[in-house]
Amino acid sequence: MHPIDHYETLRRGHEELLRRAEYERMARKARVEQSRSKNTQKVANWLGRNLVSWVKNVSNWERSSRHDMQLQHDHRPCSAKS
């Protein structure tokens, strides 16, 4: 047989390889996107938890500072004007 007789078989095989390669590229892209989505979700969850914690700490600190200032103000000695 001459090589030209195998042309159709070679063309079909090449098309099949191209289809498989495209499928693999799409599957790899989907895995990467899924991984990025999971990482983004983890970062968002971490950030949310820590922001809530930080706000609570700042709020407690402000409340404590105001309370300490009030105690200092209440316990100042009065100066007698006589």
Enumerate the domain spans of the chain.
3-65
What torsion, rounded to 10 degrees, do the Cα atoms 21, 24, 25, 27 define?
160
Distance in angstroms (rounded) separating the CA atoms of residues 45 and 67: 33
What phi and psi, each to the nearest 5 degrees, are found at residue 2? -90, 155
What phi and psi, each to the nearest 5 degrees, are found at residue 80? -85, 130
Q: 5 or 49: whose pLDDT is higher?
A: 49
**Which pLDDT does position 5 carry in this prediction?**
72
**Which pLDDT does position 7 carry in this prediction?**
84
**Which pLDDT does position 50 carry in this prediction?**
93
| Minimum mean pLDDT range among 3-7, 18-22, 28-32 | 3-7
35-51: pLDDT as tens digits: 888 888 999 999 999 99
